Chain A
Amino acid sequence: MPYIYHAFGLTIQSEFELPELIPGTGDPDVSIRSGRVPAQLDYARREHFRFQSRPGRLLLKIDHIAEFLISDGREIVVQVMPSAEPESVRLFLLGSALGAILHQRGILPLHASAVRVNGECIAFCGASGSGKSTTAGVFVNRGYELIADDICAVALDAKGQPLVYPEYTQLKLWEDSLNQSGQDPAAYSRVRHVLDKFKVPAGQGGGMEPVRFRKVYVLSPGHENRIAIHPLEGMARFGAIRDNTYRKKFVDGLGQSLDHFKTVSAIGKFVPVYRVDRPRKPFLLEELADRLEHDFMESCQENGS
């Protein structure tokens, strides 16, 4: 019997058990199955070192772990390599492979972690290592509900307004980040046994219904020694969303440039975006959280919500 899950507003049927996702019911939008994956993608429009793409298809290879063929936003074929650990296969399946499904379906995966505030989505995006999960984690500790970690799925409603589709029940945090928030890494299991990165459960209580996209904070660690929040306008706002697209290099080869542009533009139009400067070290995590919390609570009140 295949497993059925819900994530990113999709019903996913899988031959593999995926404990990271929330169990569900119903007719699947996406099916994940084991099978043979071709060595090359025929008629590839873009060829990269470890992935190839053309409209509707993406072939992704992860040496010694798994190869994935992702088709038409509907199917992921997984060829698991001998001796690959299931956790490792799942990490890339639920990461890049599902990310490709979202791109193929015209859903924008923003490279962000997000929490629910007054029923709306506050997202933290930024490059790898910018502190997305760590920042979302501190809000989870403060009682907010996690709605996305690493991939924040955004789609437009009938009026062209961006909505966020909640997903995960866990955060992936590096050892340093756990230490910063006073948590003991030994309490959690590793994302992969070779990495000092841990799976931290962060309960899903608020359901899977899409939520309004309230604000985006682009985390930008740098040389500054203090925290500063700057609103981004116009092209800078558009550019920040475009640049923080999860697996941005998938877009063009998949023939999704137009859909991607539309969603990015809609977010730029409806959702305030801020750049958050903070020192890379020390992280100033609690201070950062205080500042952000003050900022988003204030605007939620102004909004009357």
Chain B
Amino acid sequence: MKNIVWLASYPKSGNTWLRVFLANLMTGESKPFQINHLSRIIPGSASRAAFDGELGIDSADLDYDECDRLREGYHRFVAGRTSATLFYKIHDAFSFLPDGTCIVPRDVTKGAVYLVRNPLDVAVSYANHAAIGLDQAIDWINREDACLFGDRRRPHTQLRQRLLSWSGHVRSWTERDWGFEVHVMRYEDMKQEPETVFTRTARFIGMDAPTGRIRKALEFSDFKELKSQEERKGFAEKPMHCRSFFNQGKTGTWRTVLSAVQVRRIVERHGEMMDRFGYLEDGEPVY
């Protein structure tokens, strides 16, 4: 049975926003869904706590490649235990291991929503997220071997996640037919036409809802609401050194932040994918 829906994206591309929207749509409460309960409804696929609970060991006693080899089977097993649709956030690039296994079990995948955002803004947002400089953030989105939680010297709450570069990530999820449908959402469209874009996504994942409920879920996942929840109670998914997870939530921030050289470093490296997703016009960045 195919019952996993992946909410896939490169980091800082609107994944949390979509998760909060879906959590509000699913629960349909009269109050906004609490962001610190998000992982109960839509967990991250790389959460160690859930993984360890199914393995019966501490996965920190396995190396990263050993963990990767288990992830496909782990997700297949968990999916097989229920007939309900399971949603997972996933930041891993869609990639195969040397032995041919994949992180994503395609045979139980119902579909994927792929969120994409202008890499110029991703770089700015990631610099805030990781509390690093803009040049470092650009190095990171340009690196083919970029990982989340890849430091081996200490244990982490999440498994290592291979991202590839920004282009590599986008290509891995969207360029080939992996045997399931991939519904692409652009962050910029989510901002500009939220009702249309989120309605389409809700329909894609089989959660068609009346306009009133979509609007309510959008209101409850509005940037101001998320930011205010974070200010009041903090956000469990915020990294240590990051000042606030919900930073600006805008498009085009790069225009006032990145230098011409920094823009060029990104466009030169990712021009092809930027062009494909409408982030370049005549070689010049838009948005």
Contacts and interface: CB of A to CB of B under 8 A. Distances in A.
Interface of A: 48-51, 60, 62-64, 91-92, 95-96, 127-129, 174-177, 179, 191-192, 194-197, 223, 247, 249-250, 279-281
A174 B153 contact: yes
Contacts of A127: 49, 157
Contacts of B63: 192, 194-195
A49 B73 contact: yes
23 contacts: A48-B56, A48-B77, A49-B55, A49-B77, A60-B57, A62-B57, A92-B61, A128-B48, A128-B58, A128-B60, A129-B156, A175-B153, A176-B153, A176-B154, A177-B154, A179-B153, A194-B63, A194-B66, A197-B61, A223-B234, A247-B56, A279-B240, A281-B240
Interface in B147-193: 152-157
A196 B63 CA distance: 9
A92 B55 CA distance: 12
A51 B60 CA distance: 17
Contact of A174 (B54, B78, B155, B240): B155
Interface in B39-72: 48-49, 52-58, 60-61, 63, 66, 69-70
Nearest to A60: B56
Interface residues of B, number: 29
B154 A175 contact: yes
Contacts of A129: 60, 154-157
B153 A63 contact: no
Given A49-B78, A176-B153, A250-B56, 4 more contacts: A51-B55, A63-B69, A177-B154, A192-B61
B81 to A, nearest CB: 8
A202 B234 CA distance: 39
> Closest 5 CB pairs between A and B?
A51-B56, A49-B54, A129-B155, A176-B154, A194-B63
B224 interface: no
B241 interface: yes
A197 B49 CA distance: 19
B271 to A, nearest CB: 37
Nearest to A92: B57
A100 B98 CA distance: 34
Nearest to B69: A63
A191 B61 contact: yes
Nearest to B81: A47
Nearest to A61: B56
Contacts of A247: 56
B74 interface: yes
Contacts of A176: 153-154
Contact of B56 (A50, A91, A177): A50
B238 interface: yes
B154 A48 contact: no
Given A48-B54, A49-B74, A249-B53, A91 B61 contact: yes
Contacts of B56: 48, 50-51, 60, 96, 247, 249-250
A174 B48 contact: no
| Most chain B CB inside 10 Å of its own CB: which residue of A91, A223, A281 | A223
Interface string B94-118: 0000000000000000000000000
Contacts of A194: 63, 66
Contact of A223 (B57, B69, B70, B238): B238
Interface in B185-234: 234
B242 to A, nearest CB: 9
Contacts of A175: 152-154
A261 to B, nearest CB: 19
Nearest to B48: A128
A41 to B, nearest CB: 12
A43 B52 CA distance: 23
B10 to A, nearest CB: 24
A259 B73 CA distance: 33
A179 B53 CA distance: 30
Given A63-B69, A128-B48, A281-B240, A96 B155 contact: no
A250 B56 CA distance: 8
A199 to B, nearest CB: 13
B154 A174 contact: yes
Contact of B57 (A95, A191, A279): A95
A179 B241 CA distance: 21
Nearest to A48: B54
B58 to A, nearest CB: 5
A128 B241 contact: no
Given A95-B57, A223-B238, A128 B154 contact: no
Nearest to A100: B56
A195 B77 contact: no
B266 to A, nearest CB: 29
A98 to B, nearest CB: 12
Contacts of B57: 50, 60, 62, 92, 95-96
A179 B153 CA distance: 10
A92 B234 CA distance: 37
A223 B230 CA distance: 12
Contacts of A195: 61, 63, 152
Contacts of A63: 66, 69-70
